[in-house]
Amino acid sequence: MVSKRKYIFTIIVVVLLTAFVTLTLGNVFMVEIGQKVIISENTYRKLKEMHDKYAKLENIMQIVHKEFLYEADDETMLEGALAGSLKALGDPYTQYLSKEEYAALRQDTEGSYEGIGVYIAPSDDNKILIVSPIEDTPAEKAGLKTGDKIIRINGTEFTAEQIDAAVKIMKGEPGTSVTLTIQRVDSNGEHGIFDVDVNRETIKIKSIKAAMIEDNIGYIRITSFDMQTEKDFNNAYKTLKNKGMEGLIIDLRYNPGGMIDSTVEITNMFLDEGIVTYTKAKSGEIQYYKSDSSKEDIPLVLLINEGSASASEIMAGAMKDTERAILIGTKTFGKGIVQKVQRFGNEGEGIKMTVSEYFTPNGINIHGIGIEPDIEVQLNEDAEGYGYEFYETDNQLQKAVEVLKEKQ
**CA distances in angstroms from 186 to 126, 134, 145, listed in the order given:** 20, 21, 11
Determine whether 56 is an active site residue: no
Which entry of 148, 232, 251, 321 is annotated as an active-site residue?
321
Nearest to 340 by CA among 225, 286, 284, 260: 260
Residue 155, classed as helix, strand or coil, is coil
Assess contact for 120 and 127: CB atoms under 8 A.
no
For residues 381 and 123, what is the distance between their CA atoms, to the nearest angstrom? Answer: 24
- Give the distance from CA 328 to its chain's centroid: 25
For residues 51 and 163, what is the distance between their CA atoms, to the nearest angstrom? Answer: 33
Determine whether 127 is an active site residue: no
Which entry of 310, 312, 352, 394 is annotated as an active-site residue?
310
Q: Which amino acid is at 4?
A: K
Determine whether 335 is an active site residue: yes
Which entry of 149, 209, 335, 352 is annotated as an active-site residue?
335
Q: Compute the residue count for the chain.
A: 408
Burial string for 316-354 (b: 16+ CB within 10 Å, else e) reads: bbbbbbbebbbbbbbbbbbbbbbbeeeebeeeebbbbbb
By the 10 Å C-beta count (0-12 exposed, 13-18 middle, 19+ buried), 125 is classed as exposed
Assess contact for 255 and 224: CB atoms under 8 A.
yes
Q: Please, which residues bridge with residue 384 across strands?
A: none
Assess contact for 208 and 232: CB atoms under 8 A.
yes
Assess contact for 236 and 265: CB atoms under 8 A.
no
Q: What share of the chain is helix, strand, coil (3-state, %, to 5)?
A: 35, 30, 35
Residue 325, classed as helix, strand or coil, is coil
Report, as residue numbers or ranges, the catalytic residues: 310, 321, 335
